[in-house]
Amino acid sequence: MLNSTRAALTALVLLTPRFDVIRPEPEIAVFAGGCFWGVEAVFEHVKGVTDVVSGYSGGSLENPTYEQVVSGHTGHAEAVQVRFDPAIVSYETLLQVFFAVAHDPTQLDRQGPDIGPQYRSAVFFSNARQSSAARSYIEQLTREKTYPRPIVTQVVPLRRFYQAERYHQDYLRLHPDEPYIMMYDRPKLEHLRKAFPALYK
């Protein structure tokens, strides 16, 4: 009896428990901050981001074209859809990158040389947690007077996201020497690398 008990205990010690490893599901974040070429490029260089798509959100017209959106009459903003792994990078960290690197959240209906409501600053949230995180972060930035001017970023529910035309996707990677890219977008990548070295890929 004693020997059989010892044998059972030995087997129990040697038996490796099997656990189901639960990984969080990939999530989607949608941001608008001016021309989507540069915003897309910034998030493409963030560790934990698995895919970024340029497109349009916030308007009423279904399946808008670029020409319709840039007219400023559809209500859409140029936006990016960011798919990310929350086990590697949090939504809160993406908010940091969005506000600190991807654009200037104090410019109303414009970013740099691009003017119109289609270039507005916006966070399109898909659930209550994203909404709360975005509003809380804006409140924190405002309270700490991070910017010399008021933050004008909209925090609004995500209704639909429409993918932009193929020629807009991966624009910076495909056109690295275009004057607009060199002047306005490539400096954002350098800023990201310096401000968030552990995130940069």
* Residues designated catalytic: 35
The conformational region for residue 48 under phi > 0 = left, psi -120 to 50 = alpha, else beta, is left
For 170, other C-beta atoms within 10 Å of its C-beta total 16
| Residues sharing a CB contact under 8 Å with residue 183, sequence separation 6 or more, in sequence order | none
Cα dihedral sign for 113, 117, 119, 121? positive
Q: Contact 103/111 with Cβ under 8 angstroms? A: yes
24: DSSP letter? P
Q: Whole-angstrom Cα distance, residue 198 to residue 200?
A: 6
Encoding tokens for residue 80? 């990016």
CB 105 within 8 A of CB 147: yes
